[in-house]
Amino acid sequence: MKLLLVGMNHRSAPLDLRERLAVEDPGPLVQKLVACEEIDEAVLLSTCNRVEVVALTRSPEAARMRLRSFFRRELGADQPGLLERGLDEALYEYRDGEAMRHVMRVAAALDSMVVGEPQILGQTKDAYRAAVECGACGPILDRLYQRAFATAKRVRTDTRIAEGSLSVARVAVALARQIFEDMSGKRALLLGAGEMAELALGALRDAGVASLAVANRSAERAAQLAVAYGATAHGLDELPRLLAESDVVLTSIGGDRPILRVDTLEPALRVRRGRPIFVIDIGVPRNADPAIDRLDDVYRYDIDALAAVASGNAEERRREQARAEAIVSEEQQRFEGWFAALRAVPTIRDLRGRVEAIRARELERALPRLGLDDDAREAVEALSRALVNKILHAPLSRLRREAEREEGMAYLEVARLLFGLDDDAESAGAEAEGSPDADPEEP
């Protein structure tokens, strides 16, 4: 059994590509995936910043091809231009230990655009729940996700990584208050979308901003956000007018070229007659050209700057992140051990089956000769079962422990050889009967 993860995130794919592949209801899609022969279990996570599938498979190469085509055909619905937009290059793959680690890092928000942000854990739980409900999440992925949720909880409680990220939105508001006297008369504009931008938009709304506007390439998405935040929805063609009217501009929009440049802001500043604009750039890559810093009345903070202010200093942030990564490594090792121990399951099952068959056969042969009543028969049966269990306990425990290590495979092979587990049952039975050990008269 192998774990395989294929996906894309805010670092590997631009927003417009992620938007095209994002799904609202992953249930039917993972059902389709597990219906394929090469995939046994699957979970699909789709957020604004990532689309990922974790799968359990017996044929990793076939599953890899299947998942890549799943992204193109099912998620992308064979939209024209996906390949041109770099779909293949945007997809990353992780296997086994790396895949486990990635799932845990995602749940703990260590792979998020804003490290420590709170939404991703809920989104991961939703994805897991959807997979469970449609029967796509079996015992192994179930265990992985339970471990990932426990890891996220540990990271939240044992480190201060979440404090900084939670306060990023608050810092955005606090910084806006250093520029503007009163937020109640101010206008905020959101360009694009994204978790952190929405969080900051919500914080600005709570701070009493007079009006909110949302502009996006996708009018539909702009309309959705506008409804959610009581804002007005606009197209990007209205940007010059919107900039002239806006005091706070939050940007989180895809594209290779910065949307906020000196030439786009200068006309707006002329109209504003020196009233400042606070630009909060949450886009990756950055949506605001750093050259706008030379404009006196523009104050630009990107996500790193906000996070740095939020967590006090970069050194502290790095320290907390290192502690969080150590927790993930510890949990990953624990899960990897459990996962590796699964290799011992077939051997243990076969060995138990073989010994149990011998016990049953020998008991069946001996009991008529002993002429016991029912109570005595039950006592002898219990005795034989207890003997088998006690004899097998130590070797089976050892096999389980050794299977967690790569070198432990040798123990499994030896056990199979010694007990003839790969021989067919009849010949094994015959060997057992013909061997001196099998002679019931032998003391």
Partner 1 sequence: MVVALHTLTGALYLLACLASGAGLALGSARATRIAVGALAVGALAHGLTFSLLHTANPPPPLTDLTWAASLMAWLGTLAYLALLRRAKVSGLVVLVAPMAFLGVFLASLRPGPVAATTAGSASLAHAHVLLASGGFALLGLAGLCGALFLAEHRRLKRRQALPDSGLPSLESLDRAGAVALAIGFPLLTLGVVTGAMWVHAAHGAAMTGNAHEIGALLAWCVYLVLVLQRFAVHQGARRCAVSALAGFALLSVWVVGVEMLA
| Active-site residue set | 48
How many angstroms separate the Cα of 413 from the Cα of each of 147, 399, 418, 421, 423? 30, 10, 9, 10, 13
Residue 163 C-beta: closest distance to partner 1, Å: 14
Q: Toward partner 1, which CB reaches closer, 180 or 411? A: 180
Contact 127, 43 (CB under 8 A): yes
* Token output for 112: 């998020």
Residue bearing tokens 């010994």: 355
Tokens linked to 345:
């399951």
Residue with tokens 């520029």, as numbered in its chain: 179
Return d(Cα 153, Cα 172) in angstroms, integer.
26
Q: Could you tell me if 99 and 141 are in contact, meaning their C-beta atoms sit under 8 angstroms apart?
A: no
Strands (E), 235-375: 248-252, 277-281, 298-302
CB of 269 to partner 1, least distance (A): 8
Distance CA 312, CA 245 (A): 32
Instruction: Give the residue among 138, 183, 163 at the shortest CA–CA distance from 33.
Output: 138
Q: What is the largest CA-CA distance in the chain?
A: 109
- Give the integer Cα–Cα distance in Å for 182 and 438: 92
Q: What is the DSSP letter of 238?
A: G
- Give whichever of 165 and 332 is closer to partner 1, judged by the CB atom: 165
In single-letter form, the type of residue at position 260 comes to L
Q: Which is nearer to partner 1, 42 or 248 (CB)?
A: 248
User: Which residues fall within 8 angstroms of residue 211, CB to CB, at 6 or more apart?
Assistant: 187, 188, 231, 232
Distance CA 319, CA 357 (A): 57
**Min CB(266)–partner 1 separation in Å:** 12
Provide, rounded to whole angstroms, the least separation between the CB of residue 307 and partner 1: 11
Residues that bind partner 1 (CB under 8 A): 171, 174-175, 177-182, 269, 273-274, 276, 293, 296-297, 299, 301, 305, 308-309
Q: Which one, 28 or 185, has the nearer CB to partner 1?
A: 185
Among residues 191 and 269, whose Cβ is nearest to partner 1?
269
Q: Which residues pair with 301 in a beta bridge?
A: 280
Q: How far is the CB of 175 from partner 1 (least distance, A)?
A: 6
Return the number of the residue (313 or 329) whose C-beta is nearest partner 1.
313
Tell me the closest approach of the beta carbon of residue 62 to partner 1, in angstroms.
Answer: 50
